[in-house]
Structure formats: structure tokens, C-alpha cells
Structure 1
Amino acid sequence: MKSSVAVIGDIDTVTGFQLAGVKINKVVKTNEDAENALDELMNEEISIIIITEKIADNIREYIDKKIGSNVLPMIIEIPDKPGPSGRDSDPMGELIKKVIGVEMVK
């Protein structure tokens, strides 16, 4: 499997990742756009999908349904321009627990 990275986010986030060299990206404005972008990327050989926390929170059920128990593509949620969402859960910790079966303790 070819290893690629893709970004789903607002224009500012996507532009930043483009400047860093990420070539596969989707600028989204609505939840429907985000779901369609995720579908398109799931059909490509993408290993990592970076998505902003705000967008991921808005389509959480859809992400969970599409990814299921699959390890790839790995979904990494990052803060967008306004900063972290301040939620109680830790998606990265949950991902590590899902992948390696060990909970990371702070």
C-alpha cells in the first residue's frame, strides 16, 4: 500500500499543509462536503487523513461508521485556526488504545 497523507479542513488549515508539502487536500465548508471528502479519500490509497477537530466533531458518527475497526486510514484530528475545541475526550489517546491496545496515561 502506498503511504500518503491527506488533509480535510478549512481553507487556512489546508493552505498551511499545502505549504508544508501535503498535496492531497480537501477544503470543506459544510458537513456534507466533509462526508463527501472523506468518502473520496477512503477510495484512494491514503494512510493518514488529517482533519480539523471542529469538522470531525460535526461528522463524528459518519467517521465512526466509515472507519469502523480499521486501522487505516488513520484519522488524526488537529485544532483549527481558533484553537483546540476543549473537549473532554482525547482522540489521539483513543486511537493509540485502539491500535496497540494500551491506554496512554498522562
Structure 2
Amino acid sequence: MRKLQMAKLAVVADEETVSYFKMIGVKRSFAVHSVEDAAKRIGELSSDQDVAVIITTEKIAEELHALLQQISMTRLYPLIVAIPDKKGPIPRKVDPIADLLKRTVGVEIKVQ
């Protein structure tokens, strides 16, 4: 019988965003200063079997769209979640949740 373990959460973002997550106790919080740093750190974390969720900012997710999509399509975990930074949400033409549902379930959901 497999022993159950608590999955881990990681954050890869700008210094300010990371500081908030550190304040609430997220130990795996990494401040990055470039897209290259973010790509490297997310790549490392996505290979870690213990990491179930990686939180990053929308700005980083937009820059690393191809990498994040590759990770999402080839692995069940980690789930990568993009959150707004201090400047607020980035206007989008496509809802990422609706897009994920369309790709995984094959059904397009429209909300009016």
C-alpha cells in the first residue's frame, strides 16, 4: 500500500508576489528576474515528483506559453496556475479555463 504524502505548492514570480506567498508559509517560493530564470526554475520544479501545483504570474505565463503548454500536455502534474501581478489581470481573448476544458473534454463552453 502506498503511503499518502502531502503534495507541494511552488511559486515562481516577481519578488513582490513571492514575498506574499512566503508570508503565508509557502516555502518553495522563488523570485525570478528574467524569463530565462523563470523557464529554468519552472522546468526544474515540473520534474519534481513532489510538486503538484506551480503558481506563476500571468506575465510570466504569457512569455512562457509554449513551455507551459508542453508541460501541461505531457504530464498530469504539476498543474500550472497563472495569477495576476500587482498591475492586475491581463486582458485575454481566450479564457484559459474554457480552453483547458475544450482540449481535455472536447466540449466548448460559452458564457454570456
TM-score of the two chains, using structure 2 as the length reference: 0.81
Per-residue Cα deviation, 1:49-100 (whole angstroms, up to 9, x for no partner): 111000000011111123324221111110001000111122233335555x
Sort the Cα spacing of 1:23 and 1:105 in 2 relative to 1 into closer, same or farther, 3 A: farther
Per-residue deviation, 1:2: 4.2
Sort the Cα spacing of 1:97 and 1:70 in 2 relative to 1 into closer, same or farther, 3 A: farther
Per-residue deviation, 1:32: 0.6
| 1:56 correspondence with 2:61 | yes
Sort the Cα spacing of 1:35 and 1:29 in 2 relative to 1 into closer, same or farther, 3 A: same
Instruction: Look up the equivalent residue of 2:8 and give its one-letter code.
Output: S
Structure 1 vs Structure 2: percent identity of aligned residues?
35
Computing the radius of gyration over CA atoms, which structure comes out larger, 1 or 2? Answer: 2
CA distance in 2, matches of 1:48, 1:28: 17
CA distance in 2, matches of 1:77, 1:39: 16
Structure 1 segments, 4+ long, off by >6 Å, are: none
Aligned twin of 2:25: 21
8 A contact 2:32–2:38 mirrored in 1: yes
List aligned pairs for 1:1-106, cutoff 5 A. Answer: 2-44=6-48, 45-98=50-103, 101=105, 103=108, 105-106=110-111
Sort the Cα spacing of 1:14 and 1:103 in 2 relative to 1 into closer, same or farther, 3 A: farther
RCO higher in 1 or 2 (8 Å CA, sep ≥ 6)?
A: 1
Instruction: Look up the equivalent residue of 2:17 and give its one-letter code.
Output: T
Instruction: Look up the equivalent residue of 2:7 and give its one-letter code.
Output: S
Instruction: Look up the equivalent residue of 1:60 and give its one-letter code.
Output: H
Sort the Cα spacing of 1:37 and 1:105 in 2 relative to 1 into closer, same or farther, 3 A: same
TM-score of the two chains, using structure 1 as the length reference: 0.85
How many residue pairs match? The answer is 105
